[in-house]
Structure 1
Amino acid sequence: MIAMQYSLVLPADYDMGIIDRRIAERGHFTDGFPGLAFKAYLHARKQGIPASSDNLYAPFYLWHTTEGMNEFLCGAGFQGLTQSFGWPSVRTWSVWHAQMSREIAGARYALRETLQIPPHADLAALRRAESAGSREMLSSRDVLATLAGFDPTNWCLIRFQLWDKVPDRRSDGQMQVYDVGHVSTG
């Protein structure tokens, strides 16, 4: 499995209703996409609740296969995004653990946390601990999906969850809370 996200930082005075309409009109296009576990259409508002430091449009994907990811990135949907918003940097993470509840489509919020991996860390122990923490998160009745993974290029780990209510979490890393406009599953 591979996780993927691109984040578009939009101007402070950007009409975020444009993003809401885009999600409402196009979100269903990735329902049933081959190789996709889920796509969460994420956005955050500078003036939102919870407030973000920037206006963002930042879809997050969990892929069963790299073939599905490549089909999407080389396809018309991503091409349409790049024509509207420019060419984003696409981050990817190798997934150590991922689980979804059957109620994933009801997600209203997402939380993405990234943390630096210390040099020469015991990656096997870190993988066990992060995978266990991810499994434990799904036991919360408010968490609808959870993921733990890492990026060996930048040596950081990722924790990602979809929630049905605003997450009440303290961070020991870099955290972003998003609103979820739609969730597609493969």
Structure 2
Amino acid sequence: MQYEITLPADYDMGVIRHRVATRGPALDAFPGLGLKAYVIRERGVDGSPVNQYAPFYLWTSPRGMNAFLWGDGFRGLSADFGRPAVRQWTGLAFERGPAFEQGPGFERGPGFGAAPRAASRSAERVPPGTDPAAAVERAADRLKELAATPGVHSTALAIDTHAWELVHFTLWADAAPDTAPDRYTVLHLSAPGAATLETGRHW
């Protein structure tokens, strides 16, 4: 799940940093949450044309997601920024990377290795006339290969079967590669269920 709040070009992103620093830990033990990466993009940084707050979630259960969306957390965000469109995908695969268990030099996360500092996201359409099962197989194979890359904390593959769009989201111990279409700074990671997220293909 992800929502994107695009902010004015001259917006003080320190406001978002303070918000995350003071409110982010509230989800560190949220039931049903695998992980929430509090990520931002800043205009002129890592090729971003916008200022944006765009947290990304992996849920271990629909109950947890519903509890968040219909609870005080999302209500408060909507009151402050307006209700954003919330995108949801069906999870296809999840892998832990080398940085998941290795934390020297990095802030320690809540019980699961190094807290990542960066994230990347890419999306690809499954073209009409393409066998979607074959496209998903290829994407899952690439995810497995990516997970072995030094610096990867964890990586996920999901699909929107309405738009037939695959999304790849990866957390990085330090910096995301320059080739990633969307690169983010991770301000905080709430990950109460990260160690229990099912790895491999989810079918």
User: TM-score normalised to the size of structure 1?
Assistant: 0.91
| 1:57 matched residue in structure 2 | 53
Tell me the alpha carbon deviations over residues 55-114 of structure 1, each in whole angstroms, 9 at most, x when there is no partner: 000000001111110100001011010000001000011111012334565211110101
C-alpha displacement of 1:134: 1.1
**CA distance in 2: counterparts of 1:147 and 1:120, whole angstroms:** 25
C-alpha displacement of 1:169: 4.6
Q: Give, as a single letter, the amino acid of the residue that structure 1 aligns with 2:122.
A: E
**2:136 pairs with one of 114, 118, 127:** 127
The structure-2 alpha-carbon separation of the partners of 1:169 and 1:45, relative to structure 1 and needing over 3 Å to count, comes to: closer
Q: Is it true that 1:41 corresponds to 2:50 in the alignment? A: no
Q: Is it true that 1:110 corresponds to 2:119 in the alignment? A: yes
| 1:179 matched residue in structure 2 | 185
Gaps of 5+ in 2: 102-111, 193-203
Q: Is it true that 1:15 corresponds to 2:12 in the alignment? A: yes
The structure-2 alpha-carbon separation of the partners of 1:148 and 1:169, relative to structure 1 and needing over 3 Å to count, comes to: farther
Task: Count matched residues.
Answer: 179
Indicate conservation of the 8 Å contact 1:36/1:68, yes or no.
yes
| 1:88 matched residue in structure 2 | 84
Indicate conservation of the 8 Å contact 1:104/1:183, yes or no.
no
Give runs of ≥4 in structure 1 deviating > 4 Å.
Answer: none
| 2:167 matched residue in structure 1 | 158
SS at match of 1:22: helix
**CA distance in 1: counterparts of 2:18 and 2:25, whole angstroms:** 12
C-alpha displacement of 1:136: 1.5
Q: Percent identity?
A: 40
Q: Give, as a single letter, the amino acid of the residue that structure 2 aligns with 1:63.
A: W
The alignment's C-alpha RMSD in Å is: 1.4
C-alpha displacement of 1:120: 2.8
Tell me the alpha carbon deviations over residues 112-171 of structure 1, each in whole angstroms, 9 at most, x when there is no partner: 101111013212112221112112211112110101111011111101100112222535
Tell me the alpha carbon deviations over residues 167-186 of structure 1, each in whole angstroms, 9 at most, x when there is no partner: 22535xxx210000000012
SS at match of 1:106: coil
The structure-2 alpha-carbon separation of the partners of 1:20 and 1:56, relative to structure 1 and needing over 3 Å to count, comes to: same
**1:79 pairs with one of 75, 80, 91:** 75
Greater Cα offset, 15-24 or 116-125: 116-125
Indicate conservation of the 8 Å contact 2:114/2:173, yes or no.
no
Gaps of 5+ in 1: none
The structure-2 alpha-carbon separation of the partners of 1:104 and 1:19, relative to structure 1 and needing over 3 Å to count, comes to: farther
Q: Give, as a single letter, the amino acid of the residue that structure 2 aligns with 1:21.
A: H
C-alpha displacement of 1:7: 0.2
